[in-house]
Structure 1
Amino acid sequence: MADSIPKPRIAFFVSTLTAGGVQRVTLSLAGGFADAGHPVDIVVTQGGGDYEKHVPANVNLHVLEPSGILQSRWLAWRTARIPSAVLLKPVLLPFRSSRVLRHIGSLAGYLIRHRPAVLVSGMSYPNLVALWARNRAGVPVRVVVVEHNTLSQTIKRVRSRWRWRYLPAVLRNAYRQADSVVAVSNGVADDVAATTGLPRAAIRTIYNPVVSSALTERGAIRPDDDWFNPGMPPVIVGIGRLTSAKRFDVLIRAFAALRAETRAHLLILGDGRERSRLEALVRELGVEDSIRMPGFVDNPYRYLSHADLFVLSSDYEGLPTVVIEALACGCPVVSTDCPSGPREILDAGAFGELVPCGDDEQLAQAMARTLAAPPDRERQRTRAQTFSVDASLARYREVCFDE
């Protein structure tokens, strides 16, 4: 009889389905809840994107329409419930505020029409929109906000955009209205508490859902690339958006130093605004014959499963999904000891060397040591199970439905 009772609807709000760690996490959670029998919606502010075709068949996709700039400012003012207009400066004053803020009204309309029991959102600005849309809608929906990155580092890197200086106070006020505040690592949770002033005890850590049988199956496919043929030099892989925070320039310089001593290839998977600058650096260092940058690929796991080394060179992260994916594929790992995530994932260096951020010389040395004495691949895979989809879903059920 209990099986006939419909399970509550859960909605996931993310700005777009353009390639990124937040998007992969959203798809994994949405698919997991749908497979468990919940009606599931993914709500986005913009259609298209690399991952739209990966939305599970049993998950509904809703694309919101934006309001005009003036109307969105008015809605933010009416729904934020912030006692001081000063705190709303980053929302009300800039002519070009974050695009996602223009969807408060349409997200409220979605909540009124579809009445999900829970709305899970990810990243700072979508989290604000989720909370303010609930205030606008006036319907009973549990809102769970998730922080994926170290907020202090994000603010530091965009310090020229003055409105970000006001963001911690806005988030502190808004997150007090959330039913649950989640961080993807203990490092992110510590940083959110320190940056916003929220009590650390009010922030729960839930690791991202990464490892699944589907990942293993996709990783078993051999790359159609002559670099992976027997007898070829070792292949080093870097994966991520080509942005300044990922510091692929450091990886390229480290690889050039390594390449001067030994034969090797570097494959960087991903795309972004830094592409032309990175390609110029490759030419400057004279390693065009040893580095490929093919852009976004649909199945990075087959490269990780057959590569000799994965390297993360970021200046900051939240919980870098790709490091977990590398472990799950059995791939040796070297990472910068950036805030936050790599140290937690790699258990303080037990499952991969950690090096200082921005130091291409030490990165090159760690890469050489790992290639010379790679870790046991099965041990890497076992460590990755800490970040399984099933473990993450169990924790999200607790915060979503008080189970």
Structure 2
Amino acid sequence: MKVAIFIYSLAGGGAERIVSQLVPYLESKELDVYLVLMNNTCAYSFTTKREPFFLEHSKPTENGILKLLKIPLLAYKYHVLLKKNNIEKSISFLTRPGFISVLTKFFNKQRTIIISERSNSSNQYGYKNLQSWINIFLIKKLYPIADLIITNSKGNAEDLISNFNVPSHKLFTVYNPVSIKTIDAIESKKDFFDKNFFNLISVGRLDKGKNHQLLIRSVEKLKDKKVRLYIFGDGELKNELQRLIGNLRLEKSVFLMGFDSNPYQYLKAADLFVFSSNHEGFPNVLLEAMTCSLPIISTNCPSGPNEILEAEIEYDFKEIFFTKYGLLIPRNDEQKMTEAIVYMMGNVTYYADCKASLKKRILDFENEKILENFYNIFSA
């Protein structure tokens, strides 16, 4: 069976990491996989039987209006690629490839178009600007046309049903996978952190949604404590965050480390994982931190963290919530983040209980189990 996997690029990110795992897995199951890209940035190396196909070679900084205007042309080009290679099933990752793939239905209604939606669309596009309004409009018009939408959390599925008119029978939830064996085999960078400090670590793109300002300002409130924060990731807010660190005189307490394809060596050596997102789909990095036996403090953002940490609470919960794996705090609340960090530093028993519980929970997201769900969808 021939299948196409369509994503903008293989730059560092959760969706890209999943594609880097999914392609070789499906090939091992004797599927003929066509990887389709729009940009040649690649942060993940993996072996594949076939060279990727490029619909175009665009730049991430391309003008937003131009991106919009090109969608119909790219849909036709994608249709031609699928038709030429007799590919009848396509799965797209991330929003723009989703729009493009759905539009191919106008050229061939028999083709099976699957979208893998990795975010909570209402929150990702809730910034009340032109780009957000356009994306919300296109999701409402195009997503219901797809044959199947795979969400990576139940919260994302509910959002599409309630706010984007997607029929519930077209939705199926498959959680993100984590490669436990791969991470377990990686050595800890034991000498990296100064053990005289309580070392916090966070991993994620430096963008508005990840809200790293919250972490930096929380650390500023802990100046009298021996706390350090290490943020791994790149993005458009790097210079802005560096200025904030300088303005708060935190150069010796907060460090922007850039992107690293192997953050696990640092996760295994740190003391606590802190996560400050305003919105998520289903954050892989929480799974990876848990695989590294690292207790969690996370904002209770839509969606994913409360499902991962098995906390049945609403997103507007205003207090710190205790789970078996760490703490959930309200979104964008510096004071609660600060209080949660202090609690983790001072409560050795709770901290140890969290570490002990993580390994059992992470088995629910084991790589092979999750990737098999994708294979079963293609084989149906």
* TM-score of the alignment, normalized to the shorter chain, above 0.5: yes
Structure 2: distance between partners of 1:328 and 1:59: 31
**Deviations, residues 263-297 of structure 1 (Å, cap 9, x unaligned):** 12211000111111111111122221122112001
1:387 counterpart residue number: 365
Structure 2: distance between partners of 1:24 and 1:212: 14
Structure 1 residue 133 corresponds to structure 2 residue 104: yes
Asked if structure 2 preserves the Cα contact closer than 8 Å seen for 1:66 and 1:103, the reply is: no
Asked if structure 2 preserves the Cα contact closer than 8 Å seen for 1:40 and 1:60, the reply is: no
Residue pairs, 1:227-242, within 5 angstroms: 227=193, 231-242=195-206
Residue pairs, 1:122-271, within 5 angstroms: 122-136=93-107, 138=108, 141-157=111-127, 159-161=128-130, 164-218=132-186, 221-223=187-189, 226-227=192-193, 231-258=195-222, 260-271=223-234
* Corresponding residue SS for 2:293: coil
Structure 1: distance between partners of 2:69 and 2:293: 39
Asked if structure 1 preserves the Cα contact closer than 8 Å seen for 2:40 and 2:57, the reply is: no
* Corresponding residue SS for 2:172: strand
Asked if structure 2 preserves the Cα contact closer than 8 Å seen for 1:269 and 1:294, the reply is: yes
Structure 1 residue 400 corresponds to structure 2 residue 378: yes
Deviation at 1:183, TM superposition (A): 0.8
Q: Which runs of 5+ in 1 are unaligned?
A: 1-7, 68-90
**Deviations, residues 52-100 of structure 1 (Å, cap 9, x unaligned):** xx13244542222379xxxxxxxxxxxxxxxxxxxxxxx9xx4552766
* Corresponding residue SS for 1:226: coil
Deviation at 1:388, TM superposition (A): 1.7
1:364 counterpart residue number: 338
Structure 1 residue 20 corresponds to structure 2 residue 13: yes
Q: 2:55 aligns with which of 57, 64, 82?
A: 64
Deviation at 1:215, TM superposition (A): 2.4
Deviation at 1:224, TM superposition (A): 7.4
Residues 25-34 or 292-301, more deviating: 25-34
Structure 2: distance between partners of 1:281 and 1:131: 41
Asked if structure 1 preserves the Cα contact closer than 8 Å seen for 2:55 and 2:77, the reply is: yes
1:85 counterpart residue number: none
Structure 2: distance between partners of 1:213 and 1:323: 16
Residues 225 and 285 of structure 1: CA distance in aligned 2, closer, same or farther (over 3 Å): farther
Residues 43 and 379 of structure 1: CA distance in aligned 2, closer, same or farther (over 3 Å): same
Residues 166 and 368 of structure 1: CA distance in aligned 2, closer, same or farther (over 3 Å): same
2:296 counterpart residue number: 333
Q: 2:248 aligns with which of 282, 285, 290?
A: 285
Q: Specify the code of the residue in structure 2 equivalent to 1:24.
A: R
Q: Which runs of 5+ in 2 are unaligned?
A: 59-63, 312-322
Asked if structure 1 preserves the Cα contact closer than 8 Å seen for 2:10 and 2:41, the reply is: yes
**Count of aligned residue pairs for this structure pair:** 360
Structure 1 residue 314 corresponds to structure 2 residue 282: no
**Deviations, residues 35-68 of structure 1 (Å, cap 9, x unaligned):** 22322222101112323xx13244542222379x
**Deviations, residues 137-172 of structure 1 (Å, cap 9, x unaligned):** x38542211111111112212x221x6435445434
Deviation at 1:179, TM superposition (A): 2.2
**Deviations, residues 220-257 of structure 1 (Å, cap 9, x unaligned):** x23275325xx442221011110011010000111222
Q: Specify the code of the residue in structure 1 equivalent to 2:338.
A: A
Q: 2:325 aligns with which of 339, 351, 354?
A: 351
Residues 141 and 55 of structure 1: CA distance in aligned 2, closer, same or farther (over 3 Å): farther
Structure 1: distance between partners of 2:70 and 2:255: 33
* Corresponding residue SS for 2:145: coil
Per the normalisation by structure 1, the TM-score is 0.83
Per the normalisation by structure 2, the TM-score is 0.88
Residues 182 and 294 of structure 1: CA distance in aligned 2, closer, same or farther (over 3 Å): same
Deviation at 1:331, TM superposition (A): 0.6
Q: Specify the code of the residue in structure 2 equivalent to 1:370.
A: M
Asked if structure 1 preserves the Cα contact closer than 8 Å seen for 2:120 and 2:155, the reply is: yes
Q: 1:108 aligns with which of 79, 82, 86?
A: 79
* Corresponding residue SS for 2:115: strand
Asked if structure 1 preserves the Cα contact closer than 8 Å seen for 2:290 and 2:359, the reply is: yes
2:266 counterpart residue number: 303
* Corresponding residue SS for 2:16: helix
Asked if structure 2 preserves the Cα contact closer than 8 Å seen for 1:315 and 1:336, the reply is: yes
Deviation at 1:177, TM superposition (A): 3.0
CA RMSD, aligned part only? Answer: 2.3
Report % sequence identity.
Answer: 26
Residues 15 and 21 of structure 1: CA distance in aligned 2, closer, same or farther (over 3 Å): same
Asked if structure 2 preserves the Cα contact closer than 8 Å seen for 1:327 and 1:380, the reply is: yes
Residues 66 and 112 of structure 1: CA distance in aligned 2, closer, same or farther (over 3 Å): farther
Q: Specify the code of the residue in structure 1 equivalent to 2:29.
A: A
Deviation at 1:105, TM superposition (A): 2.6
Q: Greater share of helix residues, 1 or 2?
A: 1
Structure 1: distance between partners of 2:129 and 2:140: 22
Structure 2: distance between partners of 1:192 and 1:21: 20
